């Protein structure tokens, strides 16, 4: 399985697992089946009520046309097929997926899935050759499709447990985003797994660099050690967002 290194808002590179071509194809098939069932239901409903075809009946087919756009825009980069395969569309720079990104991915489906080259769809060929799991729509929108935690655990969120009587130290955490906090948490996880520095009592360089970036973003100074500082920031953020 291929990995993609994403540079986050803390200027830290973290590896993510790209969705396989097989996952994307199966998700596409599942989504197609859902759309097909919806169409059958609509046709059956009008047949039962013996309605004559009128122009407004076509409005009931708009959800099929805009299916992928609406799903990815309102389900955080996922369609129902992607949910079942545990994959999602994400910005390749680690940023937040916006509506315009979803729109570009959707509009370029006409190119990716309608134009065959030598018997292979353009999108599939681009994914295989490109190396970043990107079809044409992904390249234009600067997105790709990644695997997500199959257990959907809280490791993918900014959540950490805090004591009932916890008192926050840095109100400036309000300047940080959910994505910033997720990055901080991932940096701490990476540092905790690396025993090379802890064995000699030295802070992980990744933790030090992340502290510098976070301090600059929060516009504060502190003498608190890097690792302890990042843990405090996580707790403060959870305190203000509980």
- What tokens were used for 107? 């509009």
Q: What are phi and psi of 214, to 5 degrees?
A: -65, -40
Per-residue model confidence as pLDDT tens for the chain (242 residues): 566 655 544 444 555 678 888 888 899 999 999 999 999 998 888 777 766 667 677 788 899 999 999 999 999 899 999 999 989 998 887 677 899 999 999 999 888 877 666 545 787 788 778 777 888 999 999 998 988 764 444 445 667 778 888 999 999 998 888 778 888 888 888 877 766 655 555 677 888 888 999 999 999 999 999 989 999 999 998 888 76
Q: How many other CB atoms are found less than 10 A from the CB of residue 69?
A: 18
Q: Angle at which helices 205-218 and 178-193 pack, to 10 degrees? A: 160
Measured between alpha carbons, how far is residue 23 from residues 13, 37, 88, 235 in Å? Answer: 25, 21, 11, 36
Burial of 139 (0-12, 13-18, 19+ CB in 10 A): middle
Give the chain's count of helices (H) and strands (E). Answer: 12, 6
Q: What is the DSSP letter of 18?
A: B
Q: How far apart are the first and last CA of the chain?
A: 36
- Contacts for 218 with CB less than 8 Å, ≥ 6 apart: 170, 172, 173, 175, 176, 233
Overall pTM > 0.85: no
Report which secondary-structure segment, H or E, holds 16. Answer: strand 13-17
Does residue 135 sit in helix, strand or coil?
A: coil
Report which secondary-structure segment, H or E, holds 145. Answer: strand 143-147
Residue 10, pLDDT score? 42
Determine the Cα–Cα distance for residues 184 and 181; give it in Å rounded to an integer. Answer: 5
Determine the Cα–Cα distance for residues 80 and 67; give it in Å rounded to an integer. Answer: 10
Nearest to 227 by CA among 22, 106, 197: 197
Report which secondary-structure segment, H or E, holds 15. Answer: strand 13-17
Cα–chain-centroid distance for residue 95? Answer: 9
Q: Are 23 and 31 spatial neighbours (Cβ–Cβ below 8 Å)?
A: no
Q: Are 34 and 81 spatial neighbours (Cβ–Cβ below 8 Å)?
A: yes
């Amino acid at each position: 399985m291929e990995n993609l290194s994403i540079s986050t808002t803390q200027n830290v590179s973290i590896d993510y697992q790209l969705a396989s071509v097989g996952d994307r194809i199966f998700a596409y098939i599942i989504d197609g089946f859902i759309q097909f069932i919806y169409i059958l239901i609509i046709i059956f409903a009008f047949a039962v009520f013996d309605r004559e075809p009128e122009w407004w009946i076509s409005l009931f087919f708009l959800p099929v046309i805009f299916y992928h756009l609406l799903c990815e825009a309102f389900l955080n980069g996922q369609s129902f097929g992607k949910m079942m395969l545990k994959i999602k569309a994400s910005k390749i720079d680690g940023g937040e997926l916006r509506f315009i990104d979803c729109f570009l991915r959707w509009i370029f489906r006409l190119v990716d899935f309608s134009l065959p080259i030598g018997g292979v769809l353009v999108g599939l060929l681009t994914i295989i050759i490109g190396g970043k799991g990107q079809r044409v729509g992904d390249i234009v929108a600067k997105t790709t499709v990644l695997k997500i935690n199959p257990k959907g655990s809280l490791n993918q969120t900014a959540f950490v447990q805090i004591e009932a009587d916890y008192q926050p130290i840095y109100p400036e955490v309000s300047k940080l985003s959910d994505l910033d906090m997720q990055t901080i948490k991932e940096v701490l996880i990476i540092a905790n797994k690396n025993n090379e520095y802890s064995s000699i009592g030295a802070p992980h360089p990744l933790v030090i660099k992340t502290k510098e970036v976070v301090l600059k973003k929060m516009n504060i100074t502190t003498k608190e050690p890097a690792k302890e500082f990042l843990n405090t920031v996580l707790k403060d953020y959870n305190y203000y967002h509980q």
